[in-house]
Amino acid sequence: MNFDAYRRLSFTRRGRILTVTLNRPETLNAVDGEMHDDLSRVFYDLALDEESDIVVLTGAGRAFSAGGDMAWLEALCGSRAEWERVRIEAKRIVFGLLDCEKPVIAKVNGHAAGLGATIALFCDVIFASEKARISDPHVQVGLVAGDGGAIIWPQLIGYARAKEHLLTGDPVSASRAAEIGLINHCVPAEALDERVDAFCDRLAGGATAAIRYTKVAVNVGLRQIAHSLMDASIAYESMTNEMRDHREAVRAFIEKRPAEFRGE
């Protein structure tokens, strides 16, 4: 398959292993409109790629993804039509990850925040550098964690721990994330590539059809949960996108000052 049409993602092959890289290193791979569109399509294209059995998802530079690009989020505040497109894309990102039958391995090379964390946590096996932190700070910018965070965090670490982090936006270190089951492995930064390569080689050398269908079987329950919750999650996020607190938080971030929340 030809991936040349993608603007914010890059692709490399090593045998039957395809690596997809979030590629805006100058912004810590923050998600803008073009990357959001790319992500809404890529997992469906990966499923159809006849030259790969295993997918690795990582970020360029020193971060996995910083989450939503603030300039883009500010523009979305004033455009209901644009938000409607984003709402549809958000569902496609989550369901694309769940429906892709190939194992998707997250190589979290640095911080993963917001949508970046959601994407990493919906992957099948997650390796993270010991230097990485994982967070969902939607509430810190006045938004509901509606793009999938409210779905996947409780499934991985239980409701009590998930609510603590989702209600505050506080980050989890990679070592703590591995300890509580949010990710699979916390790895020394210098060993991350080697560990991920070795794991992917093991899968690529195995019974790839059986591995693929096992993923499908395991994901049946998670897909049911996601389908039952995603519309409501995004609807609540859409409500907060039009609220004063969100506009204030985004403007405060851009102006490098504390936000003044009013609960409205």
**Pairwise CA distance, residues 134 & 110, whole Å:** 9
In a domain, 67, yes or no: yes
Count other Cβ atoms within 10 Å, centred on residue 169: 16
User: What does DSSP say about strands 111-113 and 63-65: parallel, antiparallel, or unpaired?
Assistant: parallel
63-98 pLDDT, tens per residue? 999 999 999 999 998 788 889 999 999 999 999 999
For residue 118, give the CATH number of its domain.
Answer: 3.90.226.10
* Mean pLDDT score across all residues of the chain: 97
- How far apart CA 177 and CA 220 sit, in angstroms, is 24
pTM above 0.85, yes or no: yes
> For 31, which DSSP code?
B
Q: Is the pLDDT of residue 239 over 80?
A: yes
In a domain, 250, yes or no: no
Residue 163 lies inside a defined structural domain of this protein: yes
**What is the distance in angstroms between the CA of the first residue and the CA of the last residue of the chain?**
47
Looking at the domain assignment, is residue 238 inside a domain? no
Residue 244 counted as domain residue: no
Tell whether the model's pLDDT for residue 14 goes beyond 80.
yes
Give the tens place of pLDDT for each residue, 29-73.
999 999 999 999 999 999 999 999 999 999 999 999 999 999 999
Decide if 162 contacts 107 (C-beta within 8 A): no
> Domain for residue 3, yes or no?
no
Q: Which domain holds residue 92?
A: 9-192
Domain count, the chain: 1
Structural domain includes residue 226: no
